[in-house]
Amino acid sequence: MNRTKLSVNINKIATLRNARGGNFPNVIHFAKLAQEYGADGITIHPRPDERHIRYQDARALREIVKTEFNIEGNPISKFIDLVLEVKPEQVTLVPDDPYQITSDHGWDTIKYQKDLQRIIQKFKTAGIRTSIFVDPVEDMVKAAIDTGTDRIELYTESYAKNYQANPQDAVKDFRKSAILAHELGLGINAGHDLNLENIKFFKQNVPYLDEVSIGHALIVESLIYGMQNVIAMYQEKLK
């Protein structure tokens, strides 16, 4: 199996900061710590209302992220301009409603193919690797290749939701989608509701997995075990 990288999403650190105002906890400090503790990258998902990560955070983080910087979000004009300014190593396009609480579906890569082609070309011209959120549906994976994206990110909520009841059934569509994506020449990321309990089984059963992005669960688990320990635990399970 290939080595799967761990990107730590620090949105929840920003949520804590914004709940009290000021700059404590400091997202820059925690991004530095996550890298020191062994994270392979830092992920942020700025939203238009800046209710957690702010656009200025993205600019400041670019100065200190020395691993891989991944900015994800809905490609509205403001977001596109930010990504082209900051130039992260990777941009992940997510079909969010601007004010929904969290991501809840992948792209319809057939319906939005021309829009995605146009947006992705802008990022590729700037030398930024692109990834798009996709549900584990073969038609969506097949159509993703025609958008020009470098990678897909498999949206894993359904896996996490059904893992306890029947892990083999929960993972089967993700395995099929990953194999198909690899055959088409796409890189494969994954994220949403992955945690210390379900990540190892996912890694063992989904081949060609380049990267996972984990935020909410990792930060909550860090409240119990400490961030340094939790990052080490994830890295062990991703071997």
Active site residue 52: no
- Report the C-alpha gap between 65 and 68 in whole angstroms: 7
- Can you tell me whether residue 170 is helix, strand or coil? helix
* Half-sphere CA count of 119, side-chain side, radius 13 A: 25
CA distances to 61, 88, 98, 158, 213 from 193, in Å: 24, 24, 20, 9, 10
- Active-site residue, selected from the candidate residues 68, 153, 192, 221: 192
3-state percent breakdown (helix, strand, coil) of the chain, nearest 5: 45, 15, 35
- Active-site residue, selected from the candidate residues 52, 68, 72, 221: 72
DSSP-assigned letters across all residues of 51-91: SSS-HHHHHHHHTT--S-EEEEE---HHHHHHHHHH--SEE
Active site residue 183: no
Q: In this structure, what token pair is assigned to residue 35?
A: 């890298």
- Can you tell me whether residue 213 is helix, strand or coil? strand
Tell me the backbone φ, ψ of residue 36, rounded to 5 degrees. -60, -35
Q: In this structure, what token pair is assigned to residue 199?
A: 């990540």
- Active-site residue, selected from the candidate residues 45, 52, 153, 211: 45
- Report the C-alpha gap between 213 and 162 in whole angstroms: 19
Q: What are the residue numbers of the active site? A: 45, 72, 192
